[in-house]
Chain A
């Protein structure tokens, strides 16, 4: 085995081992930082127990995932076509772009107070926040994706007598897909990040709600467990999106 691969495998094991040793000899205070063994224990316990926040781990996970996926898919479903059309049709671009330039200066977390006043605390309000935060990157990247398409391709298509609609479908959209997917991945990252804020501020379930409650109760084991889960789920879904991208942009690898 290569030395570097060995290091990559050994270093996390060593890290966990030292962490556990520190916990055993009580060098770190478990009130602030739990040991790996505490995490495993809490994980198994929390799978079946609704203490201390009223839902089991799977219920929290399910709630966060549903909110995040619904809002995100709606944002992509509306945002990507809008961005593509903005890049393609100059008139739509002129009408929508200035509004967009203003709106994208406002970071998504600052929409949370309005979302609570408009929709009340609940799934709908969090869905709106997720939707709003994923919408902007989805539109912007699709827009630039179309704008960055090489004019040569378009001219070639024109010379061969393609209609404008055909050019859009067969030249613009396929050529802009890599950038569109960059936008989709960014959108997912941001919306997952903002959902955490929304759940901490006002919610009754969800992973971020769980760790926020745990913080009030001084349960560091539950906090770290929740943080790791939030991280793994976010990374897992990003990988899924990357897979979808690879399926749609097979031609990219030929180049």
Chain B
């Protein structure tokens, strides 16, 4: 029930906001903020009650909607999706809080935001492929409206580009899902079955796996986005209103990476192993390309947008390193990137509201005028770059470590991405904040006010907290990625290199691998480890 509640709350909130009397416009913001806290609360409650160290889905719900078509309201949360929903709840509340400056059609704006939240939560919670697809697609509509109505100058172009790119990817996803559902239906004696668990038990041939991997992969690659499918991203992120950018970068991009983890790796392990290196290479291209292009951006929002391409490259490299560290690191980068990039977009939004320009050249010497703002910006820049002790470091280090085990050359090249990140962010900081105030328009700018501080403080606390003590998060991620790896090892010849799994000092498998060979069992994690 908790998960259904989690999806229903923002929708009910949207209804409440939509039904507010027309003339009471001043009510819209506080009410929307208030209702957005509810799903955050539920997601935190789920986080607290989530049993750590378990790889199975928790809080599962399974309510059959159609026997004939094998469709059900199937929800569940594991160590990966747990963090995604917490991230969604948190960023959504913060970005609604940061939307005070929206004055045009506020009510419609808040409704769009809350519907968007419901869609995003649905994506991460669905254990039914049709449900997943439905949520995956519905996210487009509120996002389109957010960018299109409340976006920057070039919003019409950016919003339709965003829709067409993602919808184009979704075609292949839908074809893949239909084919998979028909195959799964044959297995259970129904026309179709969209049940995640039924699909998990399918034994697909390697050709089928390859085609389906590509079908799912294109959709997720566009969403991530992987180079060269990224061109919608800078436009959409730059033109979107602040809250839109925060959600786009913080949560929406994660839908793609999450799709790879949840579906591509689990359904098509053979194809994943075959294509791991290629996707790793593309990921590294993304890291370098995104960083290099970010360096030369004159527009600070666009700079951060391109840095997302770079960070998401790390996520992809981590995932397709196919090692425990890489996968956990990838998920951790997803969380950390959501926090730091979300914060950077919030900061840019705050300065944009004061100066109505995003060009780096228009600023300079802001540190003198807005010391607090400059401090927070520098902090976020460091967090994004991956300064040890902050959240960015944990994830990127784990990704580099994990990928070094299987794709050493790529790991080394990717390492340079960290340096490039320092270049583009710190150089931008230098140009915007240090030196004398060159532009007289910047002189009278006010520093952060209480509301803005209240929005940023939680992010700062969390970034430091999980940077210093990431164990609670990793403890929950690891079992979930382990089971994905185990399934890959069980169904293919691939053996993940054993290197310092955090929870195992001596791995019993090192001893038995030679004699046991790979396991033909369908990857029921846990039991076999004990028995071996």
A binds B: no
